[in-house]
């Protein structure tokens, strides 16, 4: 029971490591003490749910994936968009998990792109990997055909205004992703306008 305290999401394997049998866990669910959020993922029934709850659920179910694109923009408060699904980056050769809930959009990244610019944040007891603001903005330009150029521009504008990113950080990630020629005119216009 102490595993579930503080509103934490707990995996079935964590219960098993702590010596809690699946039968005991099933009894807790039947009695209404705990709820099954997704397959192999449990939480106290009366736990206060953070607005970033779905990010914690998605990360618990896909531990090798990284929160990206619109979901990462929203996490860093760089967009007003509320994504209908969690955007997660996975390795380009990785098996794509089939998860019913929460809804997840998977995007494939190279191993290098998947490992650069990752921060880990604790949400409801789960370590959630999220790309940094600068990396997220550059990735939004890379995947502008999937999420829309307007979302990428909103993220860039918000990042510069809030000083969560610098033009140098954008340049560095854009150069590595080989999309600097695409971002350069937008970044220069925003810097000149004093966004």
- CATH number of domain containing 91: 3.30.460
Residues 109 and 160 occupy one common structural domain: yes
CA angle 60, 66, 67 (to 5 degrees): 90
Cβ atoms of 137 and 152 within 8 Å: the answer is yes
Question: Which residue range is the domain that position 132 belongs to?
Answer: 53-192
- pTM over 0.85, yes/no: no
Residues 113 and 78 occupy one common structural domain: yes
| Residue 31: Cβ within 10 Å count | 9
Residues 116 and 170 occupy one common structural domain: yes
Residues 83 and 6 occupy one common structural domain: no
Between CA 3 and CA 10 the distance in angstroms is 7
> How many angstroms separate the first and last alpha carbons of the chain?
50
Instruction: Please report where in the chains the tokens 């521009």 appear, as a residue.
Output: 153
Residues 100 and 186 occupy one common structural domain: yes
Alpha-carbon dihedral of residues 56, 58, 62, 67, nearest 10 degrees?
-80
Residues 142 and 66 occupy one common structural domain: yes
Residues 32 and 72 occupy one common structural domain: no
Over residues 115-167, the pLDDT tens digits come to 999 999 998 888 999 999 999 999 999 999 999 999 999 999 999 999 999 99
Cβ atoms of 84 and 69 within 8 Å: the answer is no
Length of the chain (residues)? 195
φ, ψ for residue 48, nearest 5 deg: -75, 125
- Cis upstream peptide for 23 (omega within 30°): no
Three-state DSSP class for residue 187 = helix
Over residues 60-106, the pLDDT tens digits come to 889 899 999 999 999 999 998 888 889 999 999 999 988 888 889 99
pLDDT for position 2:
66
Between CA 39 and CA 109 the distance in angstroms is 26
Residues 58 and 38 occupy one common structural domain: no
Residues 98 and 17 occupy one common structural domain: no
- How many domains is the chain partitioned into structurally? 2
Question: Which residues does residue 84 pair with via DSSP β-bridges, in sequence order?
Answer: none
Residues 30 and 85 occupy one common structural domain: no
Residues 163 and 105 occupy one common structural domain: yes
Three-state DSSP class for residue 82 = coil
Q: Are strands 41-44 and 34-38 parallel, antiparallel or unpaired?
A: antiparallel
Residues 79 and 125 occupy one common structural domain: yes
pLDDT for position 40:
73
Return the closest-CA partner of residue 139 out of 173, 98, 93, 188.
173
From residue 48, give the alpha-carbon distance in Å to each of 7, 51, 82, 125, 158: 6, 10, 20, 13, 29
Residue 4 has pLDDT above 90, yes or no: no
């Amino acid at each position: 029971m102490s595993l579930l305290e503080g509103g934490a999401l707990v995996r079935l394997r964590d219960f098993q490591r702590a010596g809690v049998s699946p039968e005991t866990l099933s009894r807790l669910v039947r009695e209404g003490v705990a709820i099954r959020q997704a397959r192999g993922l449990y939480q106290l029934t009366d736990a206060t749910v953070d607005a970033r709850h779905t990010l914690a659920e998605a990360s618990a179910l896909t531990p090798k994936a990284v929160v990206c694109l619109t979901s990462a923009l929203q996490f860093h408060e760089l967009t007003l968009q509320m994504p209908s699904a969690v955007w997660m980056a996975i390795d380009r050769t990785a098996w794509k998990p089939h998860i019913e809930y929460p809804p997840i959009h998977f995007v494939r990244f190279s191993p290098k792109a998947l490992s650069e610019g990752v921060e880990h944040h604790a949400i409801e007891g789960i370590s959630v990997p999220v790309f940094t603001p600068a990396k997220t903005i550059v990735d939004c330009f890379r995947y502008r055909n999937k999420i829309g150029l307007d979302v990428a521009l909103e993220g860039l504008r918000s990042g510069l205004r809030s000083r969560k990113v610098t033009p140098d950080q954008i340049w560095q990630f854009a150069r590595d992703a080989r999309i600097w020629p695409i971002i350069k005119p937008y970044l220069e216009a925003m810097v000149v306008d004093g966004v």
